[in-house]
Amino acid sequence: MSLSAAKSRVIFAREYLNSPRSGEIEPLLQMAEGFLAEVPDEEKEPVLAEIAEIRAALEAAPTQDETRKTAAAQGKIRQARDQVERGYNRDDIVTTLGVAEGYLAEVRDKFKETILAEISQLRAQLDAQAPPEPAPGPAGRSAPADDDLSATDSRGIRQARTLLGYARELAGTPGRLEESELKVEQALNLLASVPDTVVVKGEMLAEAGEVRAIAAGSENAGKVAAVRRALDSELSLVDSVKEYDQSDARRALARFRERFSRDDVAVLPEPVKEEYRARVAALTEQVDGFVKADALSRAESRMRDIEQVAANDPYAGLADDAVYRIGTDLEHYKNQLLEYLSRIPEGDADVEAVRRRLAAAEARLGGYGDQWNENKAQDLVTSHYHGILDSVGGWEDEAIDAAPPSMYSPSLPRTRDLMVRLLSFHADANVVSICGEYPDNEVIQGTWRDAQTLFAAAAAKVHSAFARDLDHFERMPSPMRQEDLQQTMHLAAAADTMLEHTGYREPVLARIDALSRRWRTDYSELREARRQVYQQLSAEAEEKWSAIVAASGARDGFDPWSSGPAGQPVLLKQVYNRCGWEWSGREYGFAMKYQAKVVGGVWEPHVMAALEHAWYELKLDVSDRIPWDLIAVVEGAGQIGERTTRTLVDARSGNPIGKVEEWPLVACVRLRVIGLHAGPVAIAPV
């Protein structure tokens, strides 16, 4: 804020003490306090002390309104005294004193005590009633001449003459025009009952008109003076601060223009108005000149700062944060410069010259910035590419595995890693954008081409590995098991991923698909051949089995609970082998529960040999999912492991904490299997 602006407000406030403008003092003091808000305490203390002193003086003195009302009340008291001397009716005098008291209603006590005492004194003197008025003359009497007036009319004329004399004196004082008009009205009231034929009445009426004319002139002069004081106040403020506080000066000019546009300014004579217009134009030009000089000085300082930075490349070799700081400083300088220039009207030649210098400096800085951006983009592309090369060094020496291939991906981890990284490089949005933005930068474009060439070489190497694997698999016989048919999907998935974005992907996938179809066709044919063999052998086994049972002497109706059949061959029909599912033992090949008794069977060597021939040589599905017929010899009691699931319990809390599978030994009837019929297998005892 402004210390000088605050002081100027205090000066005006002091000048208005004891003047008709005292009502403007408090707003001026409040404005001064506002200007002091951010002024250091040691500088504003004297001004604050002066403000407090002016407020104390303002409190001690009556306001303009109080002065006017006390003067009006005193005038009424004088009128009442005159009425007492002239013998007026008591009620009229009391009415006059009541008017005086009405003027004092809003006056502070300390300024009206003496006047109220006078009123009380006059009221005390009015104990006796005024003498009665003389009786009116007889009806029909002609209007009296000047020398033939009644006592009442004569007294009224005298009183009216006195009142008009007071009114004439007051009419020349702008602050007492209301009193003057009041006395004129009182005089006219006194003259109302005087006959119009009385010459002196006409003279006094003419005098009342003269008094009113004087009052009208005084009132107009007072209005002119009040308007001029208000206008002069703002212009004086402009003149006092124009050199060092143009903002305050412009605000004062704005207030002057607003004040000059009000209706009450019409009282000013036209020459006076023209004088004010000329003064305002001159002051406005002076303020604008000071504003321009100050703004150009500040703008020139910032322009030199910008031109100094733009003299040489300020970004060369700098990191991002340093470039950002320089850019931030330049933006700050530019914003300040433009703010200073905005204080000067558009089109000014000096302003346009500074703007041209700014445009030239920005063009140079823009060129430096473009070069820095291109260098940064070049570094980003080349560092990304060289980082890839450093991370996968030695990929060229990575040999294709000479061992027999598997149905999974070829073992080329470094080459594969290089391809993945190069694909990421070519798909990087920043790299793609930079290559498109700088088509003439040979370093950037050359790096892009090198990456493409390197990717093609790595892809060719990976393709060679897949081609070697496929050459091997295509020479192999087709798988004999159904689960082996699925192996090609692993190789296809590897080729689909490793050869993505290359021209090798589709041909390799086509070879893998052809291999898979060939295997499936061959397996279907093999499966049909096995089915036919299975059916043929099953029919032969079924035909031979009855003779085998009869020749063995095995008895049906085996009772595992009886010890009688020990050593005797028995026949078990249509039973299912549960060995490995519910019961298990290293020596047992067959297990089941027969008539609520666990039975464990041990294979005779020729039986085991027949099953293995069917499984491994003939590739027949002889499983525990079909019912079997067994010829076995009962050997007696034995033991076999039984699948058991045990719940583990926490010793402290008793809560279950998990489960464990165990195979504890249980009692069983031990059999030695000497003959078997299971689908295509029919083995006779030896």
pLDDT digits (tens, 9 = 90+) for 213-234: 777 666 677 787 888 888 999 8
Residue 665 is predicted with a pLDDT of: 93
Q: Is the pLDDT of residue 252 over 70?
A: yes
Question: Is the pLDDT confidence value at 139 over 50?
Answer: no
Helix, strand and coil percent figures for the chain, each rounded to 5 = 65, 10, 25
Structure confidence by residue, pLDDT tens digits, 659-675: 999 999 999 999 999 99
Task: Give me the pLDDT at residue 2, please.
Answer: 66
What's the gap between Cα 651 and its chain centre? 59
**DSSP-assigned beta bridge partners for residue 678:** 681
* Helix, strand, or coil (residue 583): strand
Which pLDDT score, from 0 to 100, does residue 213 have? 73
Give the list of residues 6+ apart from residue 86 with CB closer than 8 angstroms, or none.
Answer: 155, 158, 159
Tens-digit pLDDT profile for residues 592-635? 999 999 999 999 999 999 999 998 888 888 988 999 999 999 99
Question: Strands 597-603 and 665-678, how do they pair?
Answer: parallel
Alpha helices, DSSP H, located in 143-263: 151-171, 177-192, 199-241, 246-260
H or E element at residue 8: helix 3-15
Per-residue confidence (pLDDT) for residue 219, from 0 to 100: 66
Q: What is the pLDDT of residue 440?
A: 94
Contact 96, 83 (CB under 8 A): yes
Answer for the pair 371, 313: CB distance below 8 angstroms, yes or no.
Answer: yes
Q: Is 32 helix (H, G, I), strand (E, B) or coil?
A: helix
The string of DSSP letters for 413-465 reads HHHHHHHHHHHHHHH-HHHHHHHHH-TT-HHHHHHHHHHHHHHHHHHHHHHHH
d(Cα 383, Cα 241) in Å, to the nearest integer? 63
pLDDT tier at 81, thresholds 50, 70, 90? confident
DSSP 112: T
Please state, rounded to an integer, the average pLDDT across all residues of the chain: 87
List, in order, residues 6 or more apart from 332 with CB less than 8 Å away: none
* Residue spans of beta strands (DSSP E) within 582-625: 583-584, 590-594, 597-603
**Tokens 């410069």 belong to which residue?**
337
Q: Provide φ and ψ at 138, rounded to 5°.
A: -65, 150
Distance CA 650, CA 656 (A): 6
pLDDT at 686 over 50: yes
CA distances from 7 to 52, 56, 237, 539 (A): 13, 18, 11, 130
Q: How crowded is the C-beta side of 258, counted as CA atoms within 13 Å?
A: 7
CA distance 99 to 82: 15
The mean per-residue pLDDT over the stretch 145-171 comes to: 78
* Across 148-162, 250-264, 344-358, 646-660, least confident range: 148-162
pLDDT tens digits along 94-136: 878 888 888 888 888 888 888 888 888 888 888 544 444 444 4
In this predicted structure, what is the pLDDT of residue 346? 87
pLDDT at 601: 95
For tokens 């208000």, what's the residue?
Answer: 230
CA dist., res. 171 & res. 160, Å (int): 16
At residue 582, φ and ψ (nearest 5 deg) are: -110, -30
Length, in residues, of the chain: 686
554 touches 540 (CB < 8 A): no
Q: How far is CA 511 from CA 53, 263, 470, 478, 565, in A?
A: 108, 103, 8, 15, 64
> Do 657 and 587 contact (CB within 8 A), yes or no?
no
Bigger pLDDT: 268 vs 465? 465
Residue tagged 């004040």 (tokens): 259
- Residue with more model confidence, 430 or 153: 430
Return the C-alpha torsion angle 50, 53, 55, 57, nearest 10.
-140
Say which DSSP state 530 is in: H
Yes or no: say if 276 and 231 are a contact pair by the CB < 8 Å rule: yes
The token pair at 482 is 């159904």
Please determine, for residue 212, whether its predicted confidence score (pLDDT) is greater than 70: yes
Rounded CA separation 462/622 (Å) = 44
What is the crossing angle of helices 113-125 and 64-85, to 10°?
20
Q: Residue type for 270, please?
A: E
Write down the residue that tokens 């322009």 correspond to.
303
The set of residues, in sequence order, having a beta carbon less than 8 Å from that of 447 and lying 6+ positions away, is: 381, 382, 385
Instruction: Please check whether residue 99 is in contact with residue 182, taking contact to mean a CB–CB distance below 8 angstroms.
Output: no
Residue appearing with tokens 């290559």: 435
Separation of alpha carbons 222 and 218, rounded Å: 6
Other C-beta atoms closer than 10 Å to the C-beta of 485 total 16
**3-state secondary structure at position 107:** coil
